[in-house]
Amino acid sequence: MRIGVLALQGDVREHLRVLTALGAEAVAVRRPDELRSVRGLVLPGGESSVIDKLSRAFGMQHPIREAISSGMPMYGTCAGMILLADRITDGIVGQETFGGLDITVRRNAFGSQSDSFETDLDVPVLGDIPVHAAFIRAPLVTRTGDDVEVLARLDDGGVVAVRQGALLATSFHPEVSGESRFHQLFVDTVRAS
């Protein structure tokens, strides 16, 4: 099973490593022909505005939007969540998303790099053992549509993991904290598609 990681900017290697450890054929995706060769795509953490600009420069924005529309499974972490959101607040002037998830996200909702933190989250869909989550200049979901399933919340109720159809997104970086269950959930989604 061939799964891609959008390799324009961000923590690409970490995602490739986790997917490979789970038995997927994980490949870097930079061009439309590489996107056509995969069954699912991870949108990594990084800088959402930079990934947006590079996706346009590399001719990837429209092919990714078309892949989402055609039902290709995608998993966005941190900046990837922002890119999958239909609506964004606090974006830079002219910033666009790929869309697909009926959510509104706020960029850098927890502050700057120095405000990064780690915490344990209850994620019932992944079992009883809490998920150790690393939040690095993370977004926060401020609104969800009716068809969006909330998978995890912070203690204050803030939404940090969602799923809608074949699209999965987390505010945090499981690939950084050694957590593989979200990637396994994504691999299972790709396998079932």
Among 34, 96, 118, 175, the active-site one is 175
Active site annotation includes 173:
yes
117-121 vs 140-144, strand pairing mode: unpaired
Active site annotation includes 179:
no
Rounded CA separation 167/71 (Å): 9
Provide the token pair at 83.
């890119």
With vertex at residue 60, the alpha carbon angle to CA 56 and CA 64, rounded to the nearest 5 degrees, is 125
Active site annotation includes 34:
no
- Which H or E element spans position 43? strand 40-43
Among 15, 173, 179, 183, the active-site one is 173
Contact 167, 84 (CB under 8 A): yes
Among 14, 78, 179, 183, the active-site one is 78
Q: In sequence order, what are the residues at sequence separation of 6 or more whose Cβ sits closer than 8 angstroms to the Cβ of residue 115?
A: 137
Provide the token pair at 61.
């924005």
Active site residues: 78, 173, 175
